Each structure stands twice: as structure tokens, then as C-alpha cells.
């Protein structure tokens, strides 16, 4: 720098100021360039003689390639290439750097690429590549990669980019060729390169060429666990579970003492994402018997047990994890959720209070503490926790539970006030809120308002089977039977095998004593779809009662009552026995069961009614 300034004394003031401004800008970029000479003479810079300087990448921006992989903390050693650089070229470089600093990476690339191509400079080609990565433009990245490869064939990074680009273009053969060249230059271990490649290809390549590429790598490195593991990573990313599982099983055959845990941890993840859970439990059990202190696999095994509804085993496993790792907050939270499922609310409360203050857990712990206190019949505590949730993932559910708590303590006005104050965004949340309002209106006896809420939902989702069915039930309660039938027919039109709709419409016709042949077709189809459903069996039995086929009615009704002791089924069966002349059987079954349904006035007075009717 000193030599340059001394040499600069020979220039006139105008040229000297221009050089100083360039140097100032270069220093602001972190000394992007180091001058090894000076411009001679007093002419304009554009006509100055050639200046020789080494070109290095700017430290101002993070090396884009570092986003492709971590390099183990080692910095890449750049060899400086001395090139002949005209002052105008230097000016163009600085313009490109300025454009990049201002966020105009595409323009910076265009300038730098053109200059790097002209000068055949490896350093400028690398800088152009870095700019291209910032543009996210496939054509620019490809062009920069090709240029860098041409001017610096011994650089490994452009070869790595090359095989990624080839796969994006569905050229597996070229990708393999570029991979092999990359491996000849790479100073990483084969295992590390395979795993890094898998991570990058999982997010950058189309599934078919990406999988085919790794199948070829497995053939190329058949004795390396990492080649199978990498194939598993890519297959998992492309939702090819069986391919991933088969690859991991092969990886196990070549595992090392260092890779065994990693392979099984990945296997545990695969099984978690791909039911049935029992398959994963069976596969991972031998490993955990050998390595019981692999807490990551233990935690995933516990989650598999939850999926398999093995709650006692899961709780035992979570307690074991927490005994060894008291700060395993996710496990503690998971244990609390199982305890809620098992209605062990006081135990759940203790675990939730313990994780409440932990960073990242406060919202979920607050929400579930509200649920716990709601279940423990402590409404004020429940409200205290639900009211703390004013935004986020649990906001809507927390507010709905607030309304539910107020409803349970007979504060109906407050419950509806909470419902009306809820702020939602997005179609899914709006529909959920409307469904909740309809449920509350129905529970409060405001059936017409509930019907109106369903009308609002149907304007948005006209073919939603659940909405149509729920509204149909309201129509029935309101004795708006034409609309009831219309909704059910619409459901059956949309889903001909919707057993509940078939049963509801068939039973309606049977109970009214109309369209009995159509009712029989509907109910027999429903029975075929759900042969052990007691209320469908009851409907079929009642249909045959209405048709005077009492022996058939008895057959279906007895099956229904054997499955579920239900007051309506009991009434239908007693009437059937009576019509068959089996009056002692009717009296006996009534005497045995009528006290179980004291709220059913029809059942309580049924025998007197039948006796009077003869």
C-alpha cells in the first residue's frame, strides 16, 4: 500500500483522487484487492498501462459454497493467480461488488461473469459462481459452474455443483461422471461426501434421477455403509419408504461401531413416519436390548408405543428416560400428554408445571394445563391458563375451551361473548370456529342459529359430508323433514357407501312406514358395510317389524342388543316379542333392564301400553 501511494505522487491531482477513491472503496470491502504496482504516466486511467495484481474473493459476503456443506472448520486455501488487469477491469470488479452489496446479485453476476470469462481468471470465476448462487437462477448457476470448471479444472467445488446440476437436468450418466471427477479432487472422506451429496440431492433433484444416481453409487461402493445410508436418506425425502427401509437394512450389514447408532436412529425415524407402529417396535427392540442408553432411539420407541396404543409401556419408557436425563423436556411433555389421555390428571399437572418455564415449551404446557384443570373441575384455574394464550398455534382451541368452561358453569352469555371475540385467519380456522358455534348453539337449544352456522359453512364447502350430516340432524330435531331427507340424499349422492347416511335415511323411511322397499335397499347396504354396528342392526330389525316380518326383525334386534344394551333397541325387541306372541319373554327382558333407562318414559310405560292394546 505504501509503495502504491508513493508511486501515486507522479499522477496529476485528478487521477490521484480517482485512485484514492478506488482504494478507499477497496478497503471498505475488506481490502478486496492488493495492488502490486502502480499506473504509470499522467494520462486518463482508461489509457493507463497494465497493472498486475492478485485477485482474491471478497470476505464481505459469506462464501456461498459454505451453504452446501460444513467444511469441518477448515478454511479453503486459495492460491493467488497473478493476472494482467486493466484499470477498466478493476473498475468493473468494484462495480460488481457494489451491486452485490446493494442486493443486486443478478447484475453483479452478469458483470463478474463477463469479466471472468474474458480474463480466464479462476478467482473471478469463483466469485461469479458465488454471485450466481445468490441469484437462485439455474441458468446463471450452470453457466458459472461451467466457466469455473474450465478455468480451474482442479477445483473440487465446481465439480460438486456439476453433478447436482446434471441431476436437475435428469442426466444421471453425466452426474456420475462429474461425481467421479469430484471424488478424485475431494479431500473429504467417502462417507462424508456421500452423506453431504444425499442431503443436497434430497432438496435439489427430481426424485427419479436422484434415486437412480444413488442406486448407481451403491453399486460403485458396495462395501460402504454410507452409500446405503445415503440412498435411504434420499428415498425417505422422496417418500419411498420401502426403498429407504431396504437401504438401511443393507447399511446395517456394513455398519461400523461408529455408524451403528446413526443407522438405528434413522431407522427409528422411518418407522415413526410409516405405520404400523408394531413393525418398528419389533425391529428396534433387539438394538435397544444391546444399547439401552441410546436415549434418542428410546424416545422414538416410546413414541412408537404411543402410536400402537401401548400407553403403559410408553409411560414406563419415558420415566426411564427422565431418570437418566432429567432435562429431557420433550419426553416429560410427552409423558404428561399420555397421562392426560389416561386421565391421570394430577400426575400430568406435575409434569406440565415442570416444563412450563422451559424455553419453547410454555405455550403448549399452558394450553394443556388448562385442559387438565378443566378435567379436574377447576374452572377458574382452567380459565386462568386458557386466557394466557392470546396467539399462536393453540390460540383457537384455547378460546374454544374457554367458551366450553363458561358454558359448563352456566355462564352462557360469557361463553357466546368469547366465541364472538375469537379472531381467526384462513378457511380452515373459520370452518372450525363455525362448527364450534353450531355445537354450542345446539347445546344451548338454539337450533335455528345452529342451522344458520351450517348454512354459512356450506356456502364455502358445499360438499362437506360432515357439515351436511350434522345439519341434517338439526333438521330432524326441528321436524324439518323434507330438508332432513334432502341433506341425506345429497350425502349419499356424494358418497354412495356412507353407511351412517344410508342408515339414517333408511331408518327414517322405516319409522314413518313409507318407501319400505327403498328403505330395505338402503339398510341392507349399510349393514353390508358395517355388519356389526348395533344401531344399523336395530334399523334393519325395525324395518322388518314395520313390514310385518317379525321373525326377521327378532333376529336382527337380538343381535343388536347383544352388542349394545340400548333403550331404543330394547323397546323394538320387546314390541317384536309381543307381536310374535312371546309375551313372557317380553315381560322378562323389560323387567330385567328397564331400570337402566329411567329417563326413557316410553320404555317405563311400555308394558302397560302393550297390556292395554291386547
User: With bands split at pLDDT 50, 70 and 90, how would you rate the model's confidence at 81?
Assistant: low
The whole-number pLDDT of residue 82 equals 54
Positive or negative CA dihedral for 45, 47, 49, 54? positive
Per DSSP, the three-state class of 155 is: coil
pLDDT at 479: 96
The pLDDT of residue 88: 86
pLDDT score, position 84: 63
Is the pLDDT assigned to residue 389 strictly greater than 90? yes
**In 3D, which of 528, 463, 466 has the Cα closest to residue 493?**
463
- For the stretch 450-499, pLDDT in tens is 999 999 999 999 999 999 999 999 999 999 999 999 999 999 999 999 99
Q: Nearest CA to 536 among 545, 525, 526, 546?
A: 526
**CA-to-CA distance for 418 and 386, rounded, in angstroms?**
12
- 440 exposure class (CB count in 10 Å sphere: 0-12, 13-18, 19+): buried
Overall residue count recorded for the chain in this entry? 614
Question: Please, which pLDDT band fits residue 86 given cuts at 50, 70 and 90?
Answer: confident
pLDDT at position 60 is 30
Q: ∠143-149-151 over CA atoms, to 5°? A: 105
Mean pLDDT calculated for residue range 105-134: 93
Bridge-based pairing state of the strands 51-54 and 82-85: antiparallel
Confidence bin at 87 (pLDDT 50/70/90): confident
Tell me the pLDDT of the chain averaged across its residues: 87
* Residue-by-residue DSSP string for 407-465: HHTT-HHHHHHHHHH----SHHHHHHHHHHHHHHHHHTT-HHHHHHHHHHHHHH-TT-H
pLDDT above 90: residue 566:
yes
Residue 21 has pLDDT above 70, yes or no: no
Q: What percent of the chain has pLDDT over 70?
A: 86
pTM for the full model? Answer: 0.68
Q: Are 389 and 371 in contact (CB under 8 A)?
A: no
Count CB-CB contacts under 10 A for residue 135: 18
pLDDT band at 335 (very low <50, low <70, confident <90, very high): very high
d(CA 19, CA 69): 39
In the chain the first and final C-alpha atoms are separated, in Å, by 121
Burial class (CB in 10 A: 0-12, 13-18, 19+), 397: middle
Task: Name, in order, each residue with C-beta under 8 angstroms of 327's C-beta and a sequence gap of 6 or more.
Answer: none
Per the listing, cell 370452518 goes with 431
Whether pLDDT at 48 is above 50: no
Kindly report the number of other CB atoms within 10 A of residue 203's CB atom: 8
- 229, 237 in Cβ contact below 8 A? no
Amino acid at each position: 500500500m505504501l509503495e502504491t501511494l508513493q508511486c501515486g505522487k507522479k499522477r496529476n491531482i485528478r487521477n490521484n483522487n480517482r485512485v484514492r477513491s478506488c482504494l478507499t472503496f477497496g478497503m471498505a470491502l475488506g481490502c478486496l484487492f492488493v495492488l502490486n504496482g502502480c499506473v504509470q504516466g499522467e494520462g486518463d486511467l482508461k489509457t493507463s498501462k497494465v497493472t498486475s495484481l492478485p485477485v482474491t474473493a471478497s470476505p464481505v459476503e459469506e462464501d456461498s459454497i459454505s451453504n452446501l456443506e460444513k467444511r469441518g472448520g477448515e478454511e479453503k486455501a486459495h492460491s493467488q493467480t497473478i493476472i494482467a488487469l486493466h484499470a477498466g477491469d478493476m473498475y468493473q470488479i468494484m462495480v460488481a461488488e457494489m451491486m452485490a452489496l446493494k442486493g443486486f446479485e443478478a447484475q453483479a453476476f452478469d458483470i463478474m461473469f463477463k469479466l471472468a470469462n474474458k480474463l480466464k481468471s479462476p478467482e473471478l470465476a469463483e466469485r461469479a459462481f458465488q454471485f450466481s448462487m445468490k441469484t437462485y437462477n439455474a441458468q446463471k448457476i450452470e453457466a458459472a459452474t461451467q466457466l469455473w470448471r474450465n478455468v480451474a479444472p482442479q477445483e473440487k467445488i465446481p465439480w460438486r455443483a456439476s453433478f447436482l446440476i446434471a441431476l436437475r437436468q435428469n442426466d444421471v450418466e453425466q452426474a456420475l461422471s462429474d461425481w467421479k471427477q469430484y471424488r478424485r479432487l475431494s479431500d473429504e472422506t467417502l462417507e462424508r461426501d456421500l452423506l453431504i451429496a444425499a442431503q443436497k440431492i434430497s432438496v435439489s433433484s427430481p426424485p427419479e434421477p436422484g434415486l437412480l444416481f444413488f442406486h448407481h453409487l451403491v453399486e460403485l461402493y458396495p462395501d460402504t455403509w454410507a452409500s446405503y445410508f445415503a440412498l435411504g436418506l434420499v428415498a425417505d425425502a422422496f417418500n419411498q419408504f420401502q426403498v429407504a427401509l431396504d437401504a438401511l437394512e443393507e447399511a446395517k450389514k456394513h455398519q461400523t461401531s461408529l455408524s451403528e447408532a446413526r443407522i438405528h436412529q434413522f431407522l427409528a425415524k422411518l418407522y415413526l413416519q410409516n405405520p404400523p407402529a408394531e413393525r418398528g417396535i419389533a425391529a428396534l427392540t433387539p438394538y435397544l436390548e444391546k444399547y439401552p442408553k441410546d436415549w434418542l432411539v428410546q424416545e422414538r420407541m416410546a413414541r412408537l408405543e404411543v402410536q400402537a396404543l401401548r400407553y403403559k409401556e410408553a409411560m414406563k419408557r419415558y420415566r426411564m428416560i427422565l431418570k437418566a436425563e432429567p432435562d429431557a423436556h420433550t419426553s416429560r411433555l410427552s409423558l404428561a400428554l399420555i397421562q392426560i389421555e389416561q386421565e391421570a390428571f394430577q400426575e400430568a399437572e406435575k409434569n406440565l408445571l415442570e416444563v412450563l418455564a422451559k424455553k419453547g415449551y410454555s405455550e403448549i404446557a399452558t394450553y394443556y394445563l388448562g385442559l387438565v384443570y378443566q378435567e379436574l373441575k377447576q374452572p377458574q384455574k382452567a380459565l386462568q391458563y386458557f386466557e394466557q394464550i392470546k396467539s399462536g398455534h393453540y390460540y383457537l382451541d384455547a378460546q374454544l375451551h374457554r367458551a366450553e368452561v363458561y358454558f359448563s358453569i352456566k355462564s352462557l352469555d360469557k361463553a357466546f361473548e368469547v366465541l364472538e371475540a375469537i379472531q381467526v385467519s384462513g378457511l380452515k380456522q373459520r370452518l372450525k370456529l363455525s362448527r364450534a358455534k353450531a355445537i354450542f348453539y345446539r347445546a344451548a337449544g338454539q337450533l335455528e342459529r345452529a342451522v344458520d352456522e351450517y348454512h354459512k359453512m356450506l356456502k364455502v364447502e358445499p360438499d362437506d359430508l360432515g357439515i351436511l350430516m350434522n345439519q341434517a340432524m338439526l333438521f330432524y330435531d326441528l321436524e324439518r323433514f323434507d330438508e332432513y331427507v334432502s341433506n341425506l340424499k345429497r350425502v349419499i349422492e356424494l358418497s354412495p357407501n356412507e353407511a351412517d347416511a344410508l342408515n339414517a335415511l333408511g331408518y327414517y323411511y322405516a319409522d314413518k312406514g313409507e318407501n319400505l322397499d327403498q328403505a330395505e335397499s338402503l339398510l341392507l347396504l349399510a349393514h353390508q358395510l358395517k355388519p356389526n354396528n348395533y344401531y344399523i342392526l336395530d334399523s334393519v330389525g325395525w324395518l322388518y317389524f314395520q313390514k310385518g316380518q317379525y321373525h326377521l326383525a327378532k333376529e336382527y334386534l337380538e343381535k343388536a342388543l347383544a352388542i349394545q344394551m340400548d333403550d331404543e333397541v330394547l323397546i323394538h325387541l320387546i314390541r317384536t316379542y309381543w307381536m310374535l306372541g312371546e309375551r313372557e319373554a317380553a315381560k322378562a327382558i323389560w323387567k330385567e333392564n328397564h331400570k337402566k333407562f329411567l329417563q326413557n318414559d316410553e320404555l317405563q310405560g311400555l308394558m302397560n301400553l302393550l297390556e292395554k292394546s291386547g
